[in-house]
Amino acid sequence: MLRKPEWLKVKLPQREEYSNVKKILREERLHTVCVEAKCPNLGKCWDSGTATFMILGDTCTRACRFCATKTGNPKGVVDRSEPDRLVDAVKRMGLDYVVITSVDRDDLDDLGATIFVKTVELLRKSNSQIGIEVLTPDFGGREDLINEVLNSGIDVFAHNIEVVRRISPKIRDARADYDLSMNVLKIAAKNRNVIVKSGIMVGIGETDEEVYRTIEEVATAGVKIFTIGQYLQPTKKNIEVDRYVTPETFKSYEERGKEVGINVVSGPLVRSSYMAKEVYNKVKNA
């Protein structure tokens, strides 16, 4: 097993705000990707009073080899009060920018799109100025469902392609597909009122040249923000780390992004919603 380098060391949560966020999430019975995916930035984000909410429960219908989220069949069960509780939590936390993601829900006819729309609409109604970013499943590539979410009042539509093309079949669930995900991004990019975002992990079996090509592909698809972070094995059941990418190499990814006109946010601890508000404002005001 590879030894984790110094640049991947993270500080433990220290501020009172961390405990406050934890308390609110518990009382509102909400899930976060911070906990479910064992994100290394949990302490930093919660200390700053932010969190990435995960709707539609904590059980994913897919089983990607990199992910620690619980997998199974929720059998069509949907908590219809979840959007209201999420809005309450956002108010209590005093957030002015919210990131909402979800598990995959292939068991639902609408694949979870309706709850995304309801959550966004309630947030927008409660605060017309709040920034809203969604990180969605592929919705089976259905343009009607993707457009429902795009037109719900969001500022950023994110969908991760997760890994480079070559290794996608062996890393992601069989129902996921690189070209399917790329098409989701192309559909989203048709909406000129929304910024499109995606991301991948590295250190999971790819080469740097494949990363460079992926940056070029997503730029061509219309993606404006692309995150690249180090894959970290969350549990022993998940695929092992192939390599630890150096900070210098992450910088080279950002440089390639500049060359092709895309904002690449790249670093060892970067995740999909890393510094989401700051990156959104940078791209919006560019």
pLDDT exceeds cutoff 80 at 49: no
- Alpha helix positions (H), the chain: 16-27, 33-36, 42-47, 82-93, 113-126, 143-150, 168-171, 178-189, 208-221, 247-260, 276-284
Please indicate if the annotation marks 34 as binding a ligand. Answer: yes
Please indicate if the annotation marks 45 as binding a ligand. Answer: yes
Across the range 220-232, mean pLDDT stands at 97
Report which residue type is found at 175: R
Across the range 62-90, mean pLDDT stands at 94
Say what the pLDDT of residue 43 is.
Answer: 60
Please indicate if the annotation marks 64 as binding a ligand. Answer: yes
CA distance 255 to 249: 10
Tally Cβ neighbours within 10 Å of residue 251.
13
For residue 16, is it within any domain? yes
Say what the pLDDT of residue 46 is.
Answer: 57
> Into how many domains does the chain fold?
1
For residue 43, is it within any domain? yes
For residue 4, is it within any domain? no
Across the range 64-82, mean pLDDT stands at 93
Crossing angle for the helix pair 143-150 and 178-189, to the nearest 10 degrees: 50
Q: Which two tokens stand for residue 195?
A: 């910024």
Q: Which residues, 6+ apart, have CB-to-CB distance to 84 below 8 Å?
A: 122
For residue 122, is it within any domain? yes
Contacts by residues 213-219 (CB-CB < 8 Å, ≥ 24 positions apart)? 213/164, 213/165, 214/161, 214/164, 214/165, 215/253, 215/256, 215/257, 215/260, 215/262, 215/264, 216/256, 216/260, 217/165, 217/182, 218/161, 218/182, 218/185, 218/262, 219/257, 219/260, 219/261, 219/262
Phi-psi region of 24 (alpha: psi -120 to 50; beta: other; left: phi over 0): alpha
Residue 42 near residue 35, CB atoms below 8 Å: yes
**Residue span of the structural domain in which 120 resides:** 11-284
Q: Domain holding 32: CATH number?
A: 3.20.20.70
- For residue 224, the SS3 value is coil
Say what the pLDDT of residue 38 is.
Answer: 54
Please indicate if the annotation marks 39 as binding a ligand. Answer: yes
- Residue 1 binned pLDDT confidence (cut-offs 50, 70, 90): low
- Strand 31-32 versus strand 52-55 pairing type: antiparallel
pLDDT exceeds cutoff 60 at 222: yes
Across the range 24-38, mean pLDDT stands at 74
Give the closest residue to 184 by CA, choosing from 222, 132, 227, 154. 222
Q: Which two tokens stand for residue 155?
A: 């500022």
- Residue 16 binned pLDDT confidence (cut-offs 50, 70, 90): low
Q: Tokens 């210098």 correspond to what residue?
A: 248
For residue 1, is it within any domain? no
Q: Tokens 């404002």 correspond to what residue?
A: 281
Q: Which two tokens stand for residue 198?
A: 């995606």
For residue 3, is it within any domain? no
Residue 22 near residue 46, CB atoms below 8 Å: yes
Across the range 93-115, mean pLDDT stands at 94
For residue 5, is it within any domain? no
Rounded to 5 degrees, φ, ψ at 110 are -95, 5
Per-residue pLDDT tens over the stretch 141-172? 999 999 999 999 999 999 999 999 999 999 99
Please indicate if the annotation marks 102 as binding a ligand. Answer: no
Per-residue pLDDT tens over the stretch 235-259? 899 999 999 999 999 999 999 999 9
Per-residue pLDDT tens over the stretch 176-197? 999 999 999 999 999 999 999 9
Rounded to 5 degrees, φ, ψ at 5 are -75, 165
For residue 258, is it within any domain? yes
- Name which of 28-42, 47-61, 109-123, 268-282 the model is least confident about: 28-42
